[in-house]
Amino acid sequence: MDRFRVMGVVNVTPDSFSDGGEFLDPAAAIAHGRRLAADGAGILDIGGESTRPGAAPVDAEEEVRRVLPVIEALADTGTQISVDTTKTEVAGRALDAGASIVNDVSAFRFAPELAGLVADAGADCCLMHMLGEPRTMQEDPRYDDVVADVKAFLDERMRFATAAGVREDRIWLDPGIGFGKTLQHNLELLRRLDEIVALGRPVVVGTSRKSFLGKLTGKPEKERLPGTIATNVIALERGARIFRVHDVAEVTEALTVAAATLSRA
By CB under 6 A, tell whether 9 contacts ligand HH2: yes
Q: How far apart are CA 50 and CA 33, in angstroms?
A: 17
Site string for ligand HH2, 166-195 (x = CB under 6 A): --------x-xx------------------
244 flagged as catalytic: yes
Catalytic member of 151, 201, 210, 238 = 210
210 flagged as catalytic: yes
Residues 6+ apart with CB under 8 A from 243: 4, 5, 6, 7, 204, 205, 232, 235, 236, 251, 255
Q: How far apart are CA 176 and CA 43, in angstroms?
A: 18
Q: Hey, which residues between 234 and 263 contact ligand HH2 (CB under 6 A)?
A: 244
Q: Hey, which residues between 76 and 95 contact ligand HH2 (CB under 6 A)?
A: 84
Q: How far apart are CA 78 and CA 21, in angstroms?
A: 26
8 Å CB contact between 166 and 115:
yes
Q: How far apart are CA 12 and CA 48, in angstroms?
A: 5
By CB under 6 A, tell whether 48 contacts ligand HH2: no
Q: How far apart are CA 239 and CA 16, in angstroms?
A: 28
* Interface region with ligand HH2, contact rule CB under 6 A, candidates 10-18, 24-32, 73-81, 150-158: 10-18
Name which of 47 and 202 has its Cβ closer to ligand HH2. 47
From first CA to last CA, the distance across the chain in angstroms is 16
By CB under 6 A, tell whether 126 contacts ligand HH2: yes
Name which of 40 and 206 has its Cβ closer to ligand HH2. 206
- Using CB under 6 A as the criterion, which residues of the chain lie in contact with ligand HH2 when the complex forms? 9, 11, 13, 16-18, 47, 50-52, 84, 103, 105, 126, 128, 174, 176-177, 204, 206, 244
